[in-house]
Amino acid sequence: MLPVLLQQVRRDRIILPIWVLGTAALLAVSAASVVNEYGDAEGRSQILTVALATPALLSLRGIPNGDSLGSAVHFQSYAFLAVTIGLMNVFLATRHGRADEEKGRRELLLATPVSRLTPAVATLVLAVVANAVFAVLAALGYLAAGLPADGAVLSATALAVTGLAFFGVGMLAGELTATTRAASGIGVVLVLVAYALRAAGDALGTPDVAKLTLEPAWPSWLSPIGWGQQTFAFTDDIWWPVAAIGALAVVLVGVALVVHSRRELGASLLAERRGRAAARPTLRGAFGLAWRLHWPTLLAWTLGSALLGLGLGSLITAVSQLDFADNPQLAAILQSLGHTDQSDAAAALIPALMVIVGSMAAAAGVQAVLRAREEEAAGRAEILLASPVSRIGWLLAFTALGVVTVAVVLLATGLASAAGFAASGSDEFVWQSLGQCLVQAPAALAFVAVTALVVGLLPRAAIGLGWGLFGAGVVIGYFGQVLQLPDWLLKASPITHVPEVPVDDWVPTLVVTAIAVVLAALGMAAFRRRDLTT
Amino acid sequence: MNTVIEAQSLTKRFGRTLALDGLDLTVSEGEVHGFLGPNGAGKSTTIRVLLGLLRGNGGSATVLGRDPWKDAVAIHRDIAYVPGDVTLWPNLSGGETIDYLTRLRGGADKALRARLIDAFQLDPRKKGRGYSKGNRQKVALVAAFARPAKLYIFDEPTSGLDPVMESVFRAEVERVQKEGATVLLSSHILSEVEQLCDRITIVRSGRAVETGSLDELRHLTRTSFRVATGASLAEVAALPGVHDAREETGHLVFDVDGAELEHVLTSLTREGVTAITATPPSLEELFLRHYGDRIEATGSDAA
């Protein structure tokens, strides 16, 4: 047992500390930022009043309970911290569970005098230790932000026990499916479903504006994250939800262990889905394959960003109904976010928030183009390029995939945000939001083109460089002015050239588009001239 | 006869390593050409240069009369290729992969595809990630054979196949050769090359060290004899061209250089021969001579 556990610890010596420390740091930072941003009781009450009137905000955050600091922290950060810790535990379970079995490492281990259950129990011990360490760090993080100790211990414990429940989900998923990919996929989806159920329940809940509380609707009660919110840490400090989550964790882990002790090595409760005996007629040409490989990813991006767009509509509508005459400070913040002198803060928010949508579309596009490099590195480009597929045609297919991805994500988000505004009765913003979403395209396409260039020119560095340049562009675009970066550096990021609708001057947009076309073409030319590199 | 592949003093460098060092290779139309060498000899690199996947640093190459780098796409219309290490798309089934790869060349012959899947005992509905190495190779082989090509290039095609599947592969190679196709087959599996190939090029450290038909290459090597004779061990060992002579259970056992065979046999018959077994050199021995010469150079070979 101990050697098996130590070996698992050794394998996780980098990845697990990153998750634990990273999540604890996220918790400390978000608690501290609530202290800064929400200000005094009056400010908190103002913001929470807006939140209670805005289903989009409630679904993204959680349940407030009065105007105390602890209420704001619990409202702001509990749900997404639960998601983070849930993901950490799902991956922990599948990494040492199904992945070991799939790669054949478990076979090697079980051929030694190690019992069938030992590796699984060792991983369980590892998970308990990791979550306990997280709980200690989390409690310290809350205390550092000046929150009461009782609530700090409760919230940290609730998060850690939620983590163990999702560890059980990951274990059970590994018993169900034959591949790590499927097991992790099921685990991640269940974490997101748990978040989405409480998001729906909270958004549909009954607010009490006077007391600043919310009675969530029934979907929240189906989710362990929803139960954790019912602890009302820092305010009412209720412990029974922790016991409920703990019971869920015990049941999930117990069932997984029983199944595991009876299951043959490599077997799974669900048979792997069989593929088609013959390809669909659409699977042809370089683009046909690129599309076949990438469409599920594209669909996920589209749905995610469309949900965001829908939320933006109702969020901005709620903000526009605030009375800014009372709060010139808030108005100033919103205007500076929008880089505009428009006095209407809501109208100013649209460009600021749509830049984020543009970056999401760019990230999805960059990922699509980088698939080319993944194909090449895995050796799958070789068999294709030994067929009558030209070098240029092959890289063009993945670049086109990036372009399509950007277009689909922007269009879906634009339409969703327009629908969100229409549904909230803010008809005056429908066209502005759609237009502002679409004018993000040239900047996003510039990132796609730069990625095609690095894939063509510097294959081995392409993945790091592609994401690195994207990150640099985003940082310069978002924070360049605040950081007082030199003008030429600001202009180097395509994001700074995104116009605001109605657009008076189309020249910068056209220039960015032209540069993107040239960079992509250079990428193809470079790829035509180099060796295939694995 | 037309030349299908012609490479002259091909060189290819990866950083400081010289992968191809003036390699020559000629493959004529309609032949099955064996490309033999140990791992790291430059076989796969040569094939990738011939497919235009890598660009040679020096020398010249033509495939089907064209430059493989400049006219890659045009050439590839007539080529079916199976790489040495087949990687498949993890979420595409074998059947989808076969259809996709053959469509790139114009589409599979349906009856042929069905027959090949059956002959190679392949489950076409399994996902790419679920196939073993041998089955991945079978997917690529079915894709290669399911549409006629002028030139088939196989890089160590049977390294993951069992003997039964190897014989299926051999039958398919014989079929396409009868249909007039040319085959280049790299291998370090000698039995496969002996049974299939008309001509062979042996490559070592990025150079072709021998090329010719199996018979021509056999002239270059030794024949093993086991003889019951009146001649003494010392007499036989002293004959020119005789190596490794020794006595085993009343027989003399020795190897003879191809060029000295006639002379040695004449000497033996003069002394009287009551029993004789002669074993032709296997390709293993050809290999040992070419790759074992490092051992000879260090003086550990008694001969």
Q: pLDDT tens digit string along B111-152?
A: 999 999 999 999 999 988 888 889 999 999 999 999 999 999
Do B75 and B152 sit in the same domain of this protein?
Answer: yes
Task: Provide, as residue numbers in chain A, all residues whose Cβ is less than 8 Å from the Cβ of B104.
Answer: 284-285, 384, 387-389
For B8-14, what is the mean pLDDT?
Answer: 94
Give the per-residue pLDDT at B119.
95
Contact between B92 and A275 using a beta-carbon 8 Å cutoff: yes
Q: Has residue B291 been placed in a domain?
A: no
Contact between A380 and B99 using a beta-carbon 8 Å cutoff: no
Do B184 and B232 sit in the same domain of this protein?
Answer: no
C-alpha torsion B26→B28→B31→B32, nearest 10: 20
Selected residue of B44, B75, B96 to mutate for chain A interface (largest A Cβ count, 10 A): B96
Q: Is the pLDDT of residue B281 over 80?
A: no
Select the residue of A272, A278, A285 nearest B99 (Cβ to Cβ).
A278
Q: Has residue B293 been placed in a domain?
A: no
Residue of A nearest to B143 (CA): A383
Do B228 and B213 sit in the same domain of this protein?
Answer: no
Q: Has residue B288 been placed in a domain?
A: no
**Interstrand relation of A213-215 and B58-63 (parallel, antiparallel or unpaired):** unpaired
Q: Has residue B135 been placed in a domain?
A: yes
Q: Is the pLDDT of residue A333 over 60?
A: no
Please state, in angstroms and rounded to a whole number, the distance separating the CA atoms of residues A48 and B131: 56
How many CB pairs (< 8 A) connect A and B?
A: 106
Task: Provide, as residue numbers in chain A, all residues whose Cβ is less than 8 Å from the Cβ of B44.
Answer: none
Structural domain span for residue B262: 222-280
Which residues numbered 252-291 in B keep a CB inside 8 Å of some CB on A? none
Residue A471 at interface with chain B, using a CB cutoff of 8 Å: no
Q: Is the pLDDT of residue A334 over 60?
A: no
Number of domains in chain B: 2
Contact between B89 and A380 using a beta-carbon 8 Å cutoff: yes
Do B54 and B152 sit in the same domain of this protein?
Answer: yes
Q: Is the pLDDT of residue A257 over 80?
A: yes
Selected residue of B76, B78, B132, B141 to mutate for chain A interface (largest A Cβ count, 10 A): B76
3-state secondary structure at position A295? helix
Least Cα separation, residue B191 to chain A (angstroms): 27
For A145-165, what is the mean pLDDT?
Answer: 95
Residue spans of the domains in chain A: they are 2-262, 285-529
pLDDT digits (tens, 9 = 90+) for A119-144: 999 999 999 999 999 999 999 999 99
Selected residue of B11, B92, B151 to mutate for chain A interface (largest A Cβ count, 10 A): B92
- Report DSSP state, residue A10: H
Lowest mean pLDDT of A4-18, B45-59, B225-239, name the range.
Answer: B225-239
Task: Provide, as residue numbers in chain B, all residues whose Cβ is less than 8 Å from the Cβ of A273.
Answer: 127
Selected residue of A284, A382, A532, A534 to mutate for chain B interface (largest B Cβ count, 10 A): A382
Do B274 and B149 sit in the same domain of this protein?
Answer: no
Task: Return the closest-CA partner of residue B57 out of B17, B6, B85, B25.
Answer: B17
Residue A386 at interface with chain B, using a CB cutoff of 8 Å: yes
Q: Is the pLDDT of residue A56 over 80?
A: no
Do B114 and B149 sit in the same domain of this protein?
Answer: yes
What are A380-384's contacts with CB under 8 Å, separation 24+?
Answer: A380/B87, A380/B88, A380/B89, A381/A532, A382/A532, A382/B48, A382/B53, A382/B83, A383/B81, A383/B83, A383/B86, A383/B101, A383/B140, A384/A286, A384/A289, A384/B104
Q: Is the pLDDT of residue B296 over 50?
A: no
Task: Provide, as residue numbers in chain B, all residues whose Cβ is less than 8 Å from the Cβ of A284.
Answer: 100, 103-104
Do B179 and B229 sit in the same domain of this protein?
Answer: no
Q: Tell me the C-alpha to C-alpha distance, in Å, between residue A333 and each of A52, A153, A337.
A: 21, 34, 6
Report the percent of chain B where pLDDT is more than 90: 50
Q: Is the pLDDT of residue B303 over 50?
A: no
Task: Provide, as residue numbers in chain B, all residues whose Cβ is less than 8 Å from the Cβ of A380.
Answer: 87-89
Q: Is the pLDDT of residue A328 over 70?
A: no
Least Cα separation, residue B210 to chain A (angstroms): 28
- Report DSSP state, residue A3: H
Do B249 and B158 sit in the same domain of this protein?
Answer: no
pLDDT digits (tens, 9 = 90+) for A439-474: 999 999 999 999 999 999 999 999 999 999 999 998
Higher pLDDT, B262 or B178: B178
Do B241 and B143 sit in the same domain of this protein?
Answer: no
pLDDT digits (tens, 9 = 90+) for A403-426: 999 999 999 999 999 998 888 888
Do B33 and B135 sit in the same domain of this protein?
Answer: yes
Contact between B88 and A384 using a beta-carbon 8 Å cutoff: no
Contact between A388 and B77 using a beta-carbon 8 Å cutoff: yes
Report the percent of chain A where pLDDT is more than 90: 60
3-state secondary structure at position B30? coil
Cβ contact A73:A145 at 8 Å? yes
pLDDT digits (tens, 9 = 90+) for A466-513: 999 999 998 888 888 777 888 899 889 999 898 888 888 899 999 999
Please state, in angstroms and rounded to a whole number, the distance separating the CA atoms of residues B104 and A390: 11
3-state secondary structure at position B102? helix
Residue B81 at interface with chain A, using a CB cutoff of 8 Å: yes
Which residues numbered 359-378 in A keep a CB inside 8 Å of some CB on B? 378
Q: Has residue B274 been placed in a domain?
A: yes
Residue A185 at interface with chain B, using a CB cutoff of 8 Å: no
Pull the structure tokens for residue A433.
Answer: 């939001």
Q: Has residue B270 been placed in a domain?
A: yes
Residue A522 at interface with chain B, using a CB cutoff of 8 Å: no
Cβ contact B171:B5 at 8 Å? no
Q: How crowded is the C-beta side of B34, counted as CA atoms within 13 Å? A: 26
Task: Provide, as residue numbers in chain A, all residues whose Cβ is less than 8 Å from the Cβ of B54.
Answer: 531-532
Please state, in angstroms and rounded to a whole number, the distance separating the CA atoms of residues A294 and B179: 40
Q: Is the pLDDT of residue A330 over 60?
A: no
Contact between B95 and A276 using a beta-carbon 8 Å cutoff: yes
Give the per-residue pLDDT at B299.
36
Task: Provide, as residue numbers in chain B, all residues whose Cβ is less than 8 Å from the Cβ of A179.
Answer: 129
Contact between B103 and A380 using a beta-carbon 8 Å cutoff: no
Select the residue of A283, A379, A387 nearest B87 (Cβ to Cβ).
A379
Task: Provide, as residue numbers in chain B, all residues whose Cβ is less than 8 Å from the Cβ of A385.
Answer: 51-53, 72
pLDDT digits (tens, 9 = 90+) for B75-85: 999 999 999 88
Neighbouring CB atoms inside 10 A of B190's CB total 17
Contact between A292 and B127 using a beta-carbon 8 Å cutoff: no
Do B209 and B269 sit in the same domain of this protein?
Answer: no
Q: Predicted confidence band at B302 (pLDDT cuts at 50, 70, 90)?
A: very low
Cβ contact B122:B139 at 8 Å? yes
For B45, the enclosing helix (H) or strand (E) is: helix B43-50
Please state, in angstroms and rounded to a whole number, the distance separating the CA atoms of residues B227 and B248: 10
pLDDT digits (tens, 9 = 90+) for A161-170: 999 999 999 9
Select the residue of B52, B100, B127 nearest A289 (Cβ to Cβ).
B100
- Residue B111's CATH number: 3.40.50.300
Contact between B124 and A277 using a beta-carbon 8 Å cutoff: yes
Task: Provide, as residue numbers in chain A, all residues whose Cβ is less than 8 Å from the Cβ of B52.
Answer: 385
Task: Provide, as residue numbers in chain A, all residues whose Cβ is less than 8 Å from the Cβ of B89.
Answer: 289, 293, 380
pLDDT digits (tens, 9 = 90+) for A286-320: 999 999 999 989 998 899 889 888 888 877 777 76
For A359-382, what is the mean pLDDT?
Answer: 93
Give the per-residue pLDDT at A420.
87
Pull the structure tokens for residue B298.
Answer: 């260090």
Select the residue of A276, A382, A530 nearest B93 (Cβ to Cβ).
A276
Residue B133 at interface with chain A, using a CB cutoff of 8 Å: no
Mean pLDDT of chain A: 89
Residue B151 at interface with chain A, using a CB cutoff of 8 Å: no
Residue B36 at interface with chain A, using a CB cutoff of 8 Å: no
Mean pLDDT of chain B: 87
Contact between A386 and B85 using a beta-carbon 8 Å cutoff: no
Task: Provide, as residue numbers in chain A, all residues whose Cβ is less than 8 Å from the Cβ of B94.
Answer: 275
Q: Tell me the C-alpha to C-alpha distance, in Å, between residue A509 and each of A339, A501, A516, B25.
A: 18, 12, 11, 55
Please state, in angstroms and rounded to a whole number, the distance separating the CA atoms of residues A492 and A188: 37
Residue A391 at interface with chain B, using a CB cutoff of 8 Å: yes
For B30-39, what is the mean pLDDT?
Answer: 90
Lowest mean pLDDT of A29-38, A440-449, B199-208, name the range.
Answer: A29-38
For B58-68, what is the mean pLDDT?
Answer: 93
Give the per-residue pLDDT at B90.
87
Please state, in angstroms and rounded to a whole number, the distance separating the CA atoms of residues A506 and A373: 34
Residue of B nearest to A377 (CA): B87
Task: Provide, as residue numbers in chain B, all residues whose Cβ is less than 8 Å from the Cβ of A532.
Answer: 48, 53-54
Please state, in angstroms and rounded to a whole number, the distance separating the CA atoms of residues B193 and B174: 12
Lowest mean pLDDT of A373-377, A394-398, B227-231, name the range.
Answer: B227-231
pLDDT digits (tens, 9 = 90+) for A73-108: 999 899 989 999 999 999 999 999 999 998 888 999
Select the residue of A378, A387, A391 nearest B101 (Cβ to Cβ).
A387
Residue B136 at interface with chain A, using a CB cutoff of 8 Å: no
Give the per-residue pLDDT at B54.
93
Contact between B53 and A391 using a beta-carbon 8 Å cutoff: no
Select the residue of A388, A529, A531 nearest B73 (Cβ to Cβ).
A388
Residue of A nearest to B94 (CA): A277
Least Cα separation, residue B71 to chain A (angstroms): 9
Contact between B73 and A390 using a beta-carbon 8 Å cutoff: yes
Residue B54 at interface with chain A, using a CB cutoff of 8 Å: yes
- Residue B227's CATH number: 3.30.70
Q: Is the pLDDT of residue A224 over 50?
A: yes
Q: Predicted confidence band at B282 (pLDDT cuts at 50, 70, 90)?
A: low
